[in-house]
Amino acid sequence: MLSPEGRLIVGVDLKKDARTLVRAYNDDGGVTAAFNLNLLARINRELEGSFDLNGFHHEAIYDPREGRIEMHIVSVKDQAASVRGRWFRFEPGETIHTENSYKYSIGQFQELARTAGWVPGRVWLDDGNLFSVHELIAGLR
């Protein structure tokens, strides 16, 4: 829907060491955990779920091969929960994989943009080189 002169601005989390990423997604304040575990509360509220909200904990791990943080909700006990009348069993340590958060180098993201038909333009970085903002130019479609 952009004109031929159109631009798209995209923020990208850059690759960084695994310890930094895991600490950020397993933050001491529990902000990410609350966000992730809210999925179970919403299932209970909106999909007639029966999840024991205290029967799971949040865990984020880094998969270096895929270049992503994986967020999981981990069962802390043998339990069952239903969603709209369908039952699911969970053993201790069994996970529900809820999210992937990919990390890119500037070159990787620019290549991804090219494969989607965009022409990479300017790139801006924060002072710590942790995040980037990319200008993408509408390419030939």
- Spell out the SS3 assignment of the chain: CCCCCCEEEEEEEECCCHHHHHHHHCCCCCHHHHHHHHHHHHHHHHCCCCCCCCCEEEEEEEECCCCEEEEEEEECCCEEEEECCEEEEECCCCEEEEEEEECECHHHHHHHHHHCCEEEEEEEECCCCCEEEEEEEECCC
pTM of the model: 0.81
pLDDT tens for the chain, 141 residues long, are 777 778 999 999 999 999 999 999 999 999 999 999 999 999 999 999 999 999 999 999 999 999 999 999 999 999 999 999 999 999 999 999 999 999 999 999 999 999 998 999 999 999 999 999 999 998 765
